[in-house]
Structure 1
Amino acid sequence: MANKYVPEPFRIKMVEPIKMLTRQEREEKIKEAHYNMFGLKGEDCYIDLLTDSGTNAMSSFQWAGVMQGDEAYAGASSYYRLRAAGQDIFGYQYIQPVHQGRAAEKVLFPVLLGPGKFAVSNMFFDTTRAHVELAGARAIDCVVEEAKNPAKRAPFKGNMDVKKLEELILEHGAENIGLVVMTITNNSAGGQPVSLENMRQVSQICKKYNIPLDIDAARFAENAYFVKRDEEECKNMSIKEIIRCMFSYGDMFTMSAKKDGIVNIGGLIGIKDEKSPLILKIKANCISYEGFYTYGGLAGRDMEALAIGLYEGINDDYLEYRIGQMEYLASRLDDAGIAYQSPVGGHGVFVDAAAMFPQIPYYEFPGQVLGVELYKEAGIRACDIGSYMLGNDPDTGKQLHADFEFTRLAIPRRVYTQAHLDIIADALIAIKERAGQINHGYRITWEPPILRHFQAHLEPVQQ
């Protein structure tokens, strides 16, 4: 039976019309897009689950803040309000705004990484991996083994494999590990959370070998919710206390604020120690790539909205509703026998496309197959998190085989209702019923060298 839907802790004040194209129209649109979900127009998608990044609905307080934005080029009051919010929530002394998460990586990573260096993470997301490679380094994933079995229900499947982490450091040499990155929640592993204890253990290893520890903090609030719910030592702590404790183990953070900041644009870099020599280098890179360091590519109005959104994203009622949406959709899939990365994570449901299409090999991209079928079935746009997204080995050029073949249903914050979630579930059930008739996937006809899944052209593999 489906979980009881957690009612929205807000009222709807403005609506945005959407419409469903006919099945024939959708089949034509996805073909015109070269079977790439990023090639579709937003207006041609009935329910858009491509990402939860920047697709969120801002509150009346945030929109009011937009009107108070200080657009001074240097030293705007909006910057100081954003800085104060970041210092208060995360406990870091230096807060650098940037326009989004990959900008944070572009500014910070070249300072710490270069040719011959390695970066180790519980699991890199696509753009983070790309910025490691663009800096000349190589990325290594080190997630716990439980995460690689989507059917296994275990808490904190986003954790770093601590034993393997230390083995990797010894294998490559501590002096060659430029950075350890803890992604909270672990997006590529299915939005799975990281425990406070695991963060503590990783921090101890990094200190032992004098390796900087960066927190990829895009979904820090959702991670804190799971920690409070499932980690015994944290049950009586507030969400903010958990965040402060979690971040105390890192040296720095990079953040796409377009997720848990509940804004449409924005990012942050945080440095714990205001005397860190990294800060001058960060400021220099920010001025070169993003803009003066007191705005970092953001308008004053965007900094105002983010300063407010950071607090709204750690509200207990909001987080209960937010995770409740995922649990409701996942429970409908449980009832239908549809496999996903379980237990459900924080920002979406990651459907196990390999389980739905066992007849389709990884190099024909099962996650992309399910994404295309969802669009054709009900106008739902989703995203492959599998071998298609992982891409080719940067040294050999050969197709990599991902640990998972997921189709990610990323749910924007405060946007869709229970009725929309039911449409998603019904569409997946309909596809499952005919999954055995789909015997071939897709092949790539053109791809760029970096982050191919944003632009690549595909075509169906003919029988």
Structure 2
Amino acid sequence: MPVYPPEPWRIKMVEPLRTTTRDDREEALREAGWNPCLLRSEDVYVDLFTDSGTNAMSDRQWSALMRGDEAYAGARSFYVFEEAVRAFYGYEHVIPVHQGRGGENILSRCLIRPGTHVPGNMYFPSTRAHQELNGATFHDVIVDEAHDAESEHPFKGDVDLGKLRAVIAEFGADAIPYVSLAATVNMAGGQPISVANVAETCALAHAHGIPVFLDTARAVENAWLVKQREPGWARASVAEILLALCAPTDGAVMSAKKDSLANIGGWIALRDPVLAEQARGLVLVYEGLHTYGGMTGRDMEAIAVGIAESVEEDHIRARVAQVEYLGERLDRAGVPITRPIGGHCVCIDAAAALPHVPRTDFPAQTVACAIYLEAGVRGVERGAVTAGRDPVTGVNRLPKLELLRLAIPRRVYTRAHMDLVADTVIAVHRDRDRIACGLTFAYEPRHLRFFQARFKPVSGASIFDTR
């Protein structure tokens, strides 16, 4: 069992949690259409649906809120925010947006035209949605080990350069507007990409005139994992590794709701001044003026402080150790999880946990419901529901990984909460044979269906065998 370091913070304010009964949770889940995403937060005891925007801000961040300059144009807070991004991520042109998907939308509209192709190290739902809505096809060029939950490969986020070369050879460089990289790779379980692979991927793409853009939402966690796993980086600071990850790339999109410890906000950062001016023009249309981009001055001040706090070694060490603690407890109890344990989440291999539930009956969604019913713990499906349908054939995509993601917010939960989560998951796994069936759609939205879909048991009134 890994050492659980004392949290490098102390509690100054508390938010009460509501304890519910099994009957309460069954009623709530049925009303939510067997989709934990649609539950009211007051009906959830430990919420691991996402680590996005659910972080606890520090006293320094709350103090920074009071310094917010709410001027519509040219607010002082923008320049504080801009300087923090430049200092810690190394990009010259910084354009605020309301959150990460706002940046994805702007970048896609700037660069993608119908019939183009975007290679990347595994898809992320909102990123691929913007790419497809603008007419591109996404191509997964991640290493094969990323699709194997049991593989201990230390850098499952790495690009397979042979796969990338094949995509370039098949479609031509002119049909590839950019390469889309993520650090870490969410859909593989928070798996990192190595500094060396980022550099090699950029060198290959740039040799063909193709820019590379990095999703940096969890790049600080990626930098910490590089420090632990990649030869030559053990003595470097997390801040130095973060700059090294960004240095070869042409720009980045950021959701500040993750690593930057904020509840809202994000940015696009670019090196090309012409592209930056194009992006600012679209931000004016879709987000707000280019010096606030849908955020308040208060938001920008809090993010600037959060960026600096995010690379503090004590913070990131404890943050990732908490994730590792939960993962190791589950692994030691025989719960199949994605290995190695990632930076922000523990992912249960639902296909291995429920081999009797067909992939077409959504075993990860089923496990998510079972865990919520057990003790009010909410996770999110990351499998066939999230993958959606092929836009051409309309057939459900069945990715190799069928995961239930337990994403841990930063500075929110204690070791006691992690033990409750572990005990809950272990209990559900021990009694998994009681799960008699999976789920099917009762309502299916067209895009990002895992957010708003409603389900029903494939047979009977419950997923559980009631004998």
> What per-residue deviation string (whole Å, max 9, x for no partner) do you get for residues 176-226 of structure 1?
111111100000111000000110110011111111100011101000001
Please give the alpha-carbon distance, in whole angstroms, between the structure 1 residues aligned to 2:170 and 2:428. 45
Tell me, yes or no, if structure 1 residue 147 matches structure 2 residue 146.
yes
Please give the alpha-carbon distance, in whole angstroms, between the structure 2 residues aligned to 1:281 and 1:36. 39
Q: What's 2:372 paired with?
A: 375
Please give the alpha-carbon distance, in whole angstroms, between the structure 1 residues aligned to 2:436 and 2:113. 43
1:272, CA displacement in angstroms?
2.0
Tell me, yes or no, if structure 1 residue 333 matches structure 2 residue 324.
no
- Aligned letter for 2:12? K
Q: What's 1:251 paired with?
A: 250
SS at match of 2:346: strand
Q: What's 1:60 paired with?
A: 59
- Unpaired runs of at least 5, structure 1: none
Out of 413, 418, 421, the residue aligned to residue 421 of structure 1 is 418
CA RMSD of aligned residues (A): 0.9
Out of 312, 318, 341, the residue aligned to residue 321 of structure 1 is 318
Tell me, yes or no, if structure 1 residue 360 matches structure 2 residue 340.
no
SS at match of 1:214: strand
SS at match of 1:140: strand
> What per-residue deviation string (whole Å, max 9, x for no partner) do you get for residues 213-262 of structure 1?
00011101000001111111212211111111111110010011100010
Q: What's 2:235 paired with?
A: 236
Q: Structure 1 residues 246-255 or 133-142, which shifts more?
A: 133-142
Q: What's 2:387 paired with?
A: 390
Q: What's 2:463 paired with?
A: none
Q: What's 2:464 paired with?
A: none
SS at match of 2:68: coil
SS at match of 1:188: helix
Is the Cα contact below 8 Å between 1:26 and 1:375 reproduced in 2?
A: yes
Please give the alpha-carbon distance, in whole angstroms, between the structure 1 residues aligned to 2:341 and 2:19. 28
Is the Cα contact below 8 Å between 1:49 and 1:381 reproduced in 2?
A: yes
Q: What's 1:204 paired with?
A: 203
Please give the alpha-carbon distance, in whole angstroms, between the structure 2 residues aligned to 1:429 and 1:279. 49
Please give the alpha-carbon distance, in whole angstroms, between the structure 2 residues aligned to 1:215 and 1:438. 40
- Aligned letter for 2:196? E
- Aligned letter for 1:93? E
Please give the alpha-carbon distance, in whole angstroms, between the structure 2 residues aligned to 1:4 and 1:313. 21
Change (3 A) 1:236 1:4: closer
Out of 348, 352, 364, the residue aligned to residue 351 of structure 1 is 348
1:150, CA displacement in angstroms?
0.9
Tell me, yes or no, if structure 1 residue 281 matches structure 2 residue 274.
no
Q: What's 1:299 paired with?
A: 296
Number of residues of Structure 1 aligned to a counterpart in Structure 2? 460
1:327, CA displacement in angstroms?
1.0
SS at match of 2:123: coil
> What per-residue deviation string (whole Å, max 9, x for no partner) do you get for residues 344-403 of structure 1?
000010111111101111111111011001100010110000011101001111111112
SS at match of 2:395: coil
- Aligned letter for 1:451? L
> What per-residue deviation string (whole Å, max 9, x for no partner) do you get for residues 98-139 of structure 1?
110000011111111121011111012111110111111111
1:47, CA displacement in angstroms?
0.4
1:268, CA displacement in angstroms?
0.8
Q: What's 1:161 paired with?
A: 160
SS at match of 2:339: coil
Q: State the identity %.
A: 45
Is the Cα contact below 8 Å between 1:91 and 1:272 reproduced in 2?
A: no
Please give the alpha-carbon distance, in whole angstroms, between the structure 2 residues aligned to 1:341 and 1:335. 13
Q: Structure 1 residues 229-238 or 320-329, which shifts more?
A: 229-238
Q: What's 1:111 paired with?
A: 110
- Aligned letter for 1:214? F
Please give the alpha-carbon distance, in whole angstroms, between the structure 2 residues aligned to 1:224 and 1:48. 26
SS at match of 1:370: helix
Tell me, yes or no, if structure 1 residue 432 matches structure 2 residue 442.
no
Please give the alpha-carbon distance, in whole angstroms, between the structure 2 residues aligned to 1:337 and 1:161. 31
Q: What's 1:29 paired with?
A: 28
Please give the alpha-carbon distance, in whole angstroms, between the structure 1 residues aligned to 2:44 and 2:434. 25
Is the Cα contact below 8 Å between 1:119 and 1:137 reproduced in 2?
A: yes
1:437, CA displacement in angstroms?
2.5
1:70, CA displacement in angstroms?
0.4
Please give the alpha-carbon distance, in whole angstroms, between the structure 2 residues aligned to 1:161 and 1:259. 26
Please give the alpha-carbon distance, in whole angstroms, between the structure 2 residues aligned to 1:54 and 1:222. 16
TM-score, normalised to structure 2, is 0.97
**Moved segments of 4+, more than 3 Å:** none
SS at match of 1:291: coil
- Aligned letter for 2:439? Y
SS at match of 1:56: coil
Tell me, yes or no, if structure 1 residue 178 matches structure 2 residue 173.
no
- Aligned letter for 2:179? V
> What per-residue deviation string (whole Å, max 9, x for no partner) do you get for residues 23-77 of structure 1?
0110110010001111100111000011000000000000000011000001111
- Aligned letter for 2:99? Q
Tell me, yes or no, if structure 1 residue 87 matches structure 2 residue 86.
yes
Q: Structure 1 residues 77-86 or 159-168, which shifts more?
A: 159-168
- Aligned letter for 2:443? W
Please give the alpha-carbon distance, in whole angstroms, between the structure 1 residues aligned to 2:340 and 2:80. 37
Please give the alpha-carbon distance, in whole angstroms, between the structure 2 residues aligned to 1:413 and 1:84. 24
SS at match of 1:270: strand
Please give the alpha-carbon distance, in whole angstroms, between the structure 2 residues aligned to 1:345 and 1:49. 15
SS at match of 2:29: helix
- Aligned letter for 1:409? L
